[in-house]
Amino acid sequence: KMDHHCPWVANCVGQGNYHHFLLLIVNAFVASVILITNTISLLFSHIGGERSSKGGAEEDHVAMIIVITVLFTSAAVALGALVSLHLYLLLTNQTTRELWRRFSRRRQRKTGVFDTTSIIFTSSTH
């Protein structure tokens, strides 16, 4: 059965290739965590005194390392959330479409104070 279309792999993810998709996002998450730990250790080695006295070039390297660390940290957080979601779906035997269908039905049934007042004040009386 078809799960969803993934624009990142430019293919539909389904029963036949779901394990490949899951391995892709798990490996991307692990790679980003490895890159974060390497860039942080490199940053500490530059800050900690193992650097040479080259002046401005060293400051540029430190700034670049900080930017790379921030970028890979944000990627790792997003990939971690995606991996967590798909592991939950795998353990509960659901597809992404089933989860979103259930979520949208729950949202439609749930009408709070703001939804009710918006219905009352925006509905036409004709």
Q: Which residues are marked as active site?
A: 6
Of 10, 107, 28, nearest to 75 (Cα)? 28
121 contacts 28 by C-beta, under 8 angstroms: no
Distance (Å, rounded) from C-alpha 6 to C-alpha 16?
Answer: 14
- CA-derived radius of gyration, the chain: 23
Q: Which residues lie below 8 Å from residue 5, measured CB to CB, with a gap of 6+? A: 11, 12, 13
* Tokens encoding 13: 């993810």
